[in-house]
Amino acid sequence: MKSFYVLLLMVLSTSCTSYYYVMTEFGADLSVERTVYSYSEDGSDGFPAFASGSGWRHSRLEEPFEVDFYDERVEMTGMSVMQCDDISGLKYLIDDGHEVDPLFSPVEKASVRFRWFYTYHDYSARFRSLEGQLPLPLDTYLHESSRELFFRGGKVPAAWNGVEMYLLLDDINRRLAQWFSDAVYIVMCDAYEPYCTAVQRAFMDSSRKDFMERTQAEIMFVMEPEEFGQRMDGLAPDIGLAAVYKQNAAMIDASYEEQTKVLDYFSSSFIYSVDMPGDYFEGNATDFIDGLPAWKVDAYRLLAGDLVLEATFRKVNLWAFILTFAVIAAILQAFAKLFDRISRGMDGK
């Protein structure tokens, strides 16, 4: 059994270079303060995707601290803070490279529900799936349950042992590797197609199987457009795709980069945590930090569909309990006096 497929997740993206611990605190009126602790390999003090003058205040942490991102512990070195009257005004100002990155544009909502004895504060954030931005649909290679298990640590089949789980994950890895290889081939063909003759286009359409059989998966993971043309010429020396690249290198490279921009999203990793009035009551938190709900958010998890974070906090309305007991006590006292009068009246007879 070949084990190189387990390297897919390392090659599928550039290595993760930016880590963010996002702490969001709400007031009773739903005013909000968000603090983004960050680490970036470029050594920047604040959040790299934030432009100056965007409403965020950046500073370097005098006392860095570590956050567990599951795959590794990372020391936070920068801090960015923003305050708003409500969550709708709390936006990341994103640069051109992140303008369609769902990791930087969650749809967040916050609300309050009053009940007599309790007040509930609700928070939700929805991160859009990457499915619509992939060059090739993933669902034809992996079932929904497999994506949920592989990318989000979903439910493990009951009574399975370690060997059976290993075989299942290896099979998912193989399917994912096949999807990635097919996606690379399709994107390469799309980048070349505008500059090819009808014969060359027909050759690319009919040669995928032969190309895959002669090209190892590890090579597909890191292949560049120039090498694609050279390898296609290896299948048919007279097809001339290497020459097509030489004549149109800048345009082909630009097209390929545009179609694979989604890979850049895998360079960021987030831990979200939220605090609202009261105590955490319910939600779908996958972890807790200092007693507060926390979730990891990254591009891998968005390969399994939309990712929704939900948390409800419940605050005891102490005054409601006091008032209720006072009313009950007053009613009982009134009934006691009434019964006492009735009892005296009956004794008088």
Tokens of 206: 């009919």
Give me the pLDDT at residue 189, please: 95
Among residues 135, 138, 137, which one has the least CA distance to residue 255? 135
**Tokens describing residue 276:** 């609202």
Give kind and range of the element (H or E) at residue 93: none
Q: Are strands 307-316 and 57-68 parallel, antiparallel or unpaired?
A: unpaired
* Spatial separation of the C-alpha atoms in residues 261 and 8, rounded to whole Å: 17
Residue with token string 């880590």 = 19
Sign (positive or negative) of CA dihedral 223, 224, 225, 230: negative
In terms of phi and psi (left: phi > 0; alpha: psi -120 to 50; beta: otherwise), the region of 111 is beta
- What is the structure's pLDDT at 11? 45
On whether the CB atoms of residues 245 and 229 are closer than 8 A, the answer is yes
Residue-level pLDDT at 210: 93
> How many Cβ atoms sit within 10 Å of the Cβ of residue 145?
12
The alpha-helical segments, DSSP class H, found in the chain are: 8-11, 144-152, 162-192, 198-206, 208-214, 217-222, 225-235, 241-259, 318-348
- pTM equals 0.84
Q: Phi, psi (5° rounding) for residue 224? A: -110, 160
pLDDT (0 to 100) of residue 13? 45
pLDDT at 4: 38
In tens digits, the chain (349 residues) has pLDDT values of 343 343 444 444 445 678 999 999 999 999 999 999 988 766 555 455 555 557 788 888 889 999 999 888 999 988 889 999 999 888 776 555 555 688 888 999 999 999 999 999 999 999 999 988 888 899 899 999 899 999 998 888 788 898 999 999 899 988 988 898 899 999 999 999 999 999 999 999 999 999 998 888 778 878 999 999 999 999 999 999 999 999 999 999 999 998 888 888 888 899 999 999 999 999 999 899 999 999 999 999 999 999 999 999 999 999 888 998 999 988 888 888 878 777 776 665 5
Closest listed residue to residue 130, CA positions, set 298, 293, 342, 335: 298
Q: What whole-number distance in Å separates Cα of residue 104 and Cα of residue 310?
A: 18
3-state secondary structure of 128: coil
CA angle, 246 then 249 then 263, to 5°: 140
Q: Cβ contacts of residue 195 below 8 Å, gap of 6+?
A: 244, 247, 248, 251, 252
Nearest CA to 203 among 164, 177, 234?
234
